[in-house]
Structure 1
Amino acid sequence: MKSKTFYSNGKLLLTAEYVVLDGALSLAVPTKYGQSLTISPISESKIYWVSFDHEDRIWFEGCFNLDNFSTEEQGDISKRIIQILKAAKTLNPQFLNSTKGYKVTTKLDFPRNWGLGTSSTLINNIANWANVDAYQLLNKTFGGSGYDIACAENNTPITYQLQNGNPIVLPCTFNPSFKDNLYFVHLNKKQNSREGIKHYKEAKGDSNFSVEAINTITKELLTCMHLEAFKNLITEHENYISKITKQTTIKDLYFKDFQGAVKSLGAWGGDFVLVASANNPIEYFKSKGFETLIPYSEMVR
């Protein structure tokens, strides 16, 4: 067998963060940044694993026994890899069912702290390698709504919705005429999605929110023709989620004097925010200490 490479796209959730878990219709986009996984057969009954970051630096290296995936490594990353490999094997007992092992090489296109899906791209790549369902593998490991798996597998924007726990993924046309006025700004810190979901479940309590209200915003964004209308919609969305999660909006926290609109993405408080602005906002955000600003067309597939 020759070497084989799998590739998965990174992800950004533009609408329905948190409430996607409760069946809201979300708009998600795959990014031009992602992660590859290459497997090369070796004669030893081991898995040699090496992970490279976007600057070709090794950020993880480990060796796992093929029979039970045990390792002398004690770190969290090793534990996660073992968890994923074991889960993949429960879904497909024929996976890694040989005396010969592999060298596994992963390579990220983006900095690890960007939050574009270091975990979800890995899950999807291993699922493809193991020939198992990526959503099932996600459920057995990290959990979450699964929209990130859908982005990993699609090369266009999608709508994503859970119906009776099953993912409904539909490619959609989201190519606004004002996309040159849209930017993604990194908040200089990584947000833990699992912690964000935990906070959401605790905060929403008996709050009387309507999934339909978010569905309506998502649908209106898909057909929105004008920048001002788009800004109003994402501000409305931001205020709605703020009430449910009992969190201050990012704009109120950091960018109160900004003339455009700012919308949190995914788990609030870290990673990227979506910015809609009639004027180029680079200097504004740099003056606030936020150096990573990526135009929409450079980020989204």
Structure 2
Amino acid sequence: MHKFYSHGKLLITGEYVVLDGATALALPARLGQSLEVKKIEKQGIEWTSYNHEGEIWFEARISSEEILGSEQHEVKNEVRKRLVSLLREAAKKNPEKLSSKHGFEIITRTEFPLDWGLGSSSSLVANIAAWFEIDAYELQEKIFGGSGYDIAVALENSPVTYELTKSGRSVLTTSFDPPFSDQLFFVHLNRKQNSRESIDHYRKQPGEDISAAVEKISMLTHQVITCTSLTEFELLIEIHETIISKLVNLPKIKSALFPDFKGAIKSLGGWGGDFILATGGEDEKNYFREKGYKTILSYSEMIF
């Protein structure tokens, strides 16, 4: 049996503008996803996925012919459809993996709730790419698109700066262990946000405005990495929020939902959903608890 593992991810700086060349800071989550591959006599793939509570949330039997393209099925289940697309694309890159007379039993185990937005898709892509011995970025691009920063985190298992350049992508491992990390925590908002409108608004911005924002956010990213005081960090993320707020035409999450919060708040990833980063101690955590937010993780609980 072979086992592959990839960490989840959090994008700390550079949301949206990472697509246009901004330098972003991304961190690996402590939790991730594993993929176990076991050869079996029967051809095809027997796939079983377990959630963070050890319960089966998806299972399927997929024939080799369906993956290799000689057999087409109308697939109504979206999870199965996406999985078959992933396996089909991977098999195009390395068809020998599925060309033998045996089949495979595949088991995936996700360590975090699927609605946390920590990268259940990107960690799966990274694991499948490792199994097929192919390029994870190419596989991600074919199926999901996006900037690829989440793949970088999954592959490096380290904080990274990520930048799309004219000549390709720049992925540099970095160190991010601020002395005030005990004053950082994450709150799950438990609400999914359709980011299509904000992305559409972002795309309609003049090129010079996006270029200016890319330059500013890149500078902020490097300042975030090197800053040593909580006060400076709070100022930097406030500036970051202001820049992105104008680009995507959305109010800052603090202004919209938590105007009386004493600490600083930063949106992560697609604005309005999944996790936010907040600053402060137990009093600040209690602020969110009193508002009914139950999923609150310290920096050390969340970040690998």
TM-score by structure 1 length? 0.94
Task: Give the structure 2 partner of residue 147 of structure 1.
Answer: 149
Q: Distance in 2 between matches of 1:260 and 1:274?
A: 10
User: Judging changes above 3 Å, is the alpha-carbon distance between structure 1 residues 165 and 82 closer, same or farther for their aligned structure 2 residues?
Assistant: farther
User: Judging changes above 3 Å, is the alpha-carbon distance between structure 1 residues 18 and 234 closer, same or farther for their aligned structure 2 residues?
Assistant: same
Task: Give the structure 1 partner of residue 162 of structure 2.
Answer: 160
Task: Give the structure 1 partner of residue 28 of structure 2.
Answer: 30
Task: Give the structure 1 partner of residue 200 of structure 2.
Answer: 199
Task: Give the structure 1 partner of residue 176 of structure 2.
Answer: 174
207, 224, 241: which one aligns with 1:238? 241
Q: Distance in 2 between matches of 1:237 and 1:262?
A: 11
* Deviation, structure 1 residue 265: 0.6
User: Which piece of structure 1 moves more, 168-177 or 9-18?
Assistant: 168-177
Q: Which amino acid aligns with 1:75?
A: N
Q: Deviations over 1:187-231 (max 9, x none)?
A: 1124467x4784354453557131110011101111111101100
* Deviation, structure 1 residue 155: 2.4
Q: Distance in 2 between matches of 1:91 and 1:4?
A: 20
| SS of alignment partner, residue 215 of structure 1 | helix
Q: Deviations over 1:222-241 (max 9, x none)?
A: 11111011001001000100
Q: Structure 2: which 5+ residue stretches go unaligned?
A: none
16, 19, 24: which one aligns with 1:18? 16
CA RMSD of aligned residues (A): 1.8
Quick check: 1:18–1:197 contact (8 Å CA) kept in 2? no
Listed as ranges, the matches of 1:2-151 within 5 Å are 3-69=1-67, 74-151=76-153
Task: Give the structure 2 partner of residue 208 of structure 1.
Answer: 209
Q: Deviations over 1:236-264 (max 9, x none)?
A: 00010000001111111111100001000
Q: Distance in 1 between matches of 2:228 and 2:2?
A: 43
Runs of 4+ in 1 over 6 A off after TM superposition: none
| SS of alignment partner, residue 290 of structure 1 | coil
Matched, 1:295 2:293: no
Q: Distance in 2 between matches of 1:63 and 1:122?
A: 18
Task: Give the structure 1 partner of residue 227 of structure 2.
Answer: 224
Q: Deviations over 1:172-193 (max 9, x none)?
A: 1111100000001101124467
* Deviation, structure 1 residue 269: 1.2
* Identity percentage of aligned residues: 45
Equivalent pairs counted in the alignment come to 298
User: Judging changes above 3 Å, is the alpha-carbon distance between structure 1 residues 87 and 192 closer, same or farther for their aligned structure 2 residues?
Assistant: farther
Quick check: 2:20–2:164 contact (8 Å CA) kept in 1? yes
Q: Distance in 1 between matches of 2:227 and 2:126?
A: 32
User: Which piece of structure 1 moves more, 61-70 or 14-23?
Assistant: 61-70
Q: Deviations over 1:90-148 (max 9, x none)?
A: 22232312221101100000000000001000000000001100000001100100000
Q: Compare the two structures and name the one with the higher helix fraction.
A: 2
| SS of alignment partner, residue 68 of structure 1 | helix
User: Judging changes above 3 Å, is the alpha-carbon distance between structure 1 residues 49 and 20 closer, same or farther for their aligned structure 2 residues?
Assistant: same
277, 285, 289: which one aligns with 1:286? 289
Q: Distance in 1 between matches of 2:241 and 2:92?
A: 40
* Deviation, structure 1 residue 286: 1.1
Quick check: 1:235–1:263 contact (8 Å CA) kept in 2? yes
Quick check: 2:37–2:107 contact (8 Å CA) kept in 1? yes
Matched, 1:248 2:255: no
Quick check: 2:66–2:73 contact (8 Å CA) kept in 1? no
Q: Distance in 2 between matches of 1:291 and 1:71?
A: 42
| SS of alignment partner, residue 106 of structure 1 | strand
Quick check: 1:181–1:280 contact (8 Å CA) kept in 2? no
User: Which piece of structure 1 moves more, 161-170 or 172-181?
Assistant: 161-170
Q: Distance in 1 between matches of 2:194 and 2:5?
A: 23
| SS of alignment partner, residue 161 of structure 1 | strand
